[in-house]
């Protein structure tokens, strides 16, 4: 037999608003066959459910330990690499990876970084806003005329690639240099709030018309992947702007 | 979008005695997303069946054209490369391939040879006799303690690998759509000047001690690679800060 001692405990699979409990079970089964265990469910329509248990076919422990959250933000928590899966290419793009490229990227960080894979609802996929929470857009190269993959099948493919990359690792992967810790998803959300307040305060942004601009900012900073020190510098800059403005007013 | 003109018409997927019609539908869907159409069913327990149609989710044509046979021999017909998928390693082995190796093997022959992939019954897999009809034993490297993959998920993985191998060979993997032009080096230098002035104006930066911080900023923005539109947004933000400060002073 093949002995695969893999540790994917820092990689979580997030299903956003899954509609069919059977797909949750099938995703859990897919995860367990590939050595993954961290399942997060954002407002599942029906869970727990007998269909989920049936389709899990023995991966009950993955279901039992699934974390259920109200928002994607909660599910992302302290992740600092977030990868969104979508079959639709958007107008305002974020860096695109195919599953193989993605596996290499993930593997380079899987020992030190909390990583999230985000999968959208069966019928509609990820919204633009959800996809812009992600650093990378993972694109499975399906047929153009029939790109509708089953949710659990997509999960299966993506994590299979990570598993394969792990098994092939010694040959294909350079070790990334030691770097400063990366900002977590929650830290970035707090930063965006701070940034938005400040942009409004300097009259750059109208509160009524801020959405598109803030999406652009997310896209830009997600591409950068701020280190914690850099994040702190930015928070300092924003605070300095706010202080300067109130100082000048007084 | 990606234009993948792939031709997998010489590759057939054979399901031997599938028990659950839902799995037949899910396999058909998996096939259609990956550009495959030749489905053979050896004595399916229930087919056609509403569960098959439901899980096919639009891949009805694959189901409609599925060839139903009484024996594996009939399904194999004129194939001269036969690959059997099994999670169990047998005492009397035949050459073992993982899905990636298998895809390379298949690709080398897919233009000239009729090729069959054989998948066993859900609960028991391929019998020894069935596996010995095959030239290769395809082994998906699952967890040792939980190797039970769903039938359609296994089909999905195997044909995905063939599709990937094809796309990589023909170099037609997705590239990001045309994006906004990137800022030039000179534009970035002007931006850093503007940024530095502003950081000094808000008292974030002391003129005597600015070098290290400005290096950090360059490092960050070089990593991002600003698009022209993004650069213009940042110039706008800096100008808004300067205007706000002078406004408040007056």
- For the stretch B156-167, pLDDT in tens is 999 999 999 998
More confident of the two residues B222 and A142: A142
pLDDT digits (tens, 9 = 90+) for A205-246: 998 888 888 888 888 888 778 889 999 999 999 999 999 988
Residue A4: predicted pLDDT = 46
Across chain B, mean pLDDT equals 88
Q: Of the candidates B32, B139, B141, which has its C-beta nearest A163's C-beta?
A: B141
- Lowest average pLDDT, out of A15-29, A44-58, B170-184, goes to B170-184
Gap between the Cα atoms of B203 and A196, Å rounded: 20
Gap between the Cα atoms of B76 and B118, Å rounded: 9
In the sheet where A38-42 sits, what is the strand order?
A67-69, A38-42, A11-16, A115-119, A81-85, A136-138, A96-97
| Token representation of residue A5 | 């001692």
Gap between the Cα atoms of B21 and B50, Å rounded: 8
**Set of chain B residues whose Cβ sits within 8 Å of the Cβ of A201:** 244
Please determine, for residue A93, whether its predicted confidence score (pLDDT) is greater than 80. Answer: no
More confident of the two residues B178 and A62: A62
Percent of chain B with pLDDT strictly greater than 90: 58
- In total, chain A counts a number of residues equal to 250
B173: closest CA of chain A, how far (Å): 7
Please determine, for residue B9, whether its predicted confidence score (pLDDT) is greater than 80. Answer: yes
pTM value? Answer: 0.82
User: What is the rounded average pLDDT of the residues A185-193?
Assistant: 90
User: What is the rounded average pLDDT of the residues A30-46?
Assistant: 97
Place of tokens 């990876």: A97
Q: If phi over 0 gives left and psi between -120 and 50 gives alpha, with beta otherwise, what is residue A116?
A: beta
Q: What is the CA radius of gyration of chain A?
A: 20
User: What is the rounded average pLDDT of the residues A38-48?
Assistant: 97
In 3-state terms chain B splits into helix, strand, coil percentages (rounded to 5) of: 50, 15, 40
Q: Of the candidates B57, B157, B203, which has its C-beta nearest A160's C-beta?
A: B157
pLDDT digits (tens, 9 = 90+) for B67-123: 999 999 999 988 888 999 988 877 666 788 899 999 998 988 888 888 999 999 999
More confident of the two residues B23 and A132: B23
| Token representation of residue A205 | 């942004």
- Lowest average pLDDT, out of A156-160, A186-190, B28-32, goes to A186-190
User: What is the rounded average pLDDT of the residues B122-148?
Assistant: 89
**Set of chain A residues whose Cβ sits within 8 Å of the Cβ of B164:** 98-100, 141
Gap between the Cα atoms of B157 and B62, Å rounded: 18
**Set of chain B residues whose Cβ sits within 8 Å of the Cβ of A212:** none
pLDDT digits (tens, 9 = 90+) for B178-209: 567 888 878 888 999 999 999 999 999 998 88
Residue B250 burial class via C-beta count within 10 angstroms: exposed 0-12, middle 13-18, buried 19 and up: exposed
Across chain A, mean pLDDT equals 89
């Amino acid at each position: 037999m093949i002995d695969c001692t893999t540790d994917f405990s820092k990689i979580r699979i997030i299903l956003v608003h899954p509609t069919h409990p059977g797909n949750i079970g099938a995703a859990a089964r897919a995860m367990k066959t590939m050595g993954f265990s961290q399942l997060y469910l954002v407002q599942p329509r029906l869970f727990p459910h007998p269909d989920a248990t049936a389709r899990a076919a023995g991966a009950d422990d993955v279901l039992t330990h699934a974390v259920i959250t109200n928002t994607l933000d909660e599910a992302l928590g302290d992740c600092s690499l977030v990868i969104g899966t979508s079959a639709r290419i958007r107008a305002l793009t974020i860096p695109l990876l195919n599953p193989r490229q993605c596996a290499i990227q993930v593997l380079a960080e899987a020992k030190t970084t909390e990583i999230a894979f985000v999968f959208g609802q069966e019928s509609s996929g990820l919204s633009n806003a959800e996809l812009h929470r992600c650093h990378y857009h993972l694109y499975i190269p399906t047929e153009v005329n029939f790109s509708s993959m089953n949710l659990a099948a997509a999960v299966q493919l993506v994590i299979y690639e990570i598993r394969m990359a792990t098994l092939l690792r010694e040959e294909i992967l350079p070790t990334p240099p030691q770097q400063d810790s990366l900002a977590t998803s929650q830290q970035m959300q707090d930063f965006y709030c701070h940034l938005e307040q400040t942009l409004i305060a300097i009259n750059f942004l109208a509160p009524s018309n801020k959405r598109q601009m803030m999406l652009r900012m997310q896209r830009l900073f997600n591409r950068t992947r701020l280190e914690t020190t850099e994040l702190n510098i930015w928070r300092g800059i924003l605070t300095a702007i706010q202080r300067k403005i109130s100082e000048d007013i007084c």
